Structure 1
Amino acid sequence: MRTLRTGISNEMFKHARGAGIVGSVYALERNKECVPFSFDGKKYVVEFNIPYILTQGQLYEDMLLATESGGVFVPKLEHRYIDVMQVGDDDSLTNLCNVAAASAPQDPAAFAAVLRAAVLAYYRSSPHANQYFFRADPTTKPMLLSAFTDLPDDLKDRYTVESYADLAEPFVGFSIVSNAL
């Protein structure tokens, strides 16, 4: 089980008051950034993992993702892997992409809206890294994907989202582009 280092959680969430608060981008550890958010009295972080090909001597082929049709998906060099983590009272991290549906938030639509706001906060700080992938358990995949497939009207004019529906399980992917660029 992963835990946050002492003091990190308090610093990231010190200004969080109320429901649906989205924080700034923080370096969580080497090659990982995150955006903290709160929802329904609980703390969460969206972790953005820089691909190994950019940080280590990984082979190019290792970044390719399988598709349902048996082919391969070639991501942009600057892509990110996302983990959505709940922060426990003991600063432990539970990956929501891999938990049972019973552990998922009670209001998936409202949770998806706050999750979307956290990802957009990261995108605005790093627009070059606009392609995102996460591993999803079949029970939580619909909730996580719903945050990015159907943008509300107030965001449709500002952003275009492309979903990569052909990725083989367990991956889900999408890209975000600002319409102002």
Structure 2
Amino acid sequence: PPALPAVECWAISYPQAVNCSWVLAPEPLLDTDFVATYRHGMGGAAETGECVRTGPRSCSFGDVQMFSLTPYVVNVTAVNPLGAASRLLPFLLENIIKPDPPEDLRVSPIPGETKKLLLEWSPPGSWPFPEYFPLKYCIRYAWEGSVTKTIGPYEQTSYTLTGVQPGTLHHIQVAAKDFTDSGEFSAWSLPASGTPWMEP
């Protein structure tokens, strides 16, 4: 039969949907199709549904129940002429929250301040309700020849970075996590750079 799919699922749009993806190793030589379903609850009371394909090896499902103490179980079955192989992945919804990285990070000098930088960013566009399900943010920054420093978490989407190196280009990234500390931090955002204000 085909290899067992390695499946991972993340709620990047909590609480609207769960996104799953999978890989096969070794890669099958024969044409392989996939069937992806999910189940919530046990036995006759279980709710089952299709994990709707979003790509050749990814799917998503919505209408999820927040704060449920019953695990969701995703079943991905690889099917080819040699047979079928199924992988079950159980999880609690809140444990798989992982936002996408913050967006639109901007680094600006502050007039008259030679040792400060203003950082501003936006929540990830895929996070549906930042006002009801707030995010918290960590910041990491470095300049040429320095060690990378990580600070936070902070709740706001702007921050005044103090004690920076005057006249030096700083490189900055931001990551997001669910405010209640559920799940995991996002990947780091795309970097943005800026230099503090200098005497004209």
Query: Could you tell me the TM-score, scaled by structure 2's length?
Result: 0.22
Give the helix-richer structure, 1 or 2: 1
Larger Rg: 2
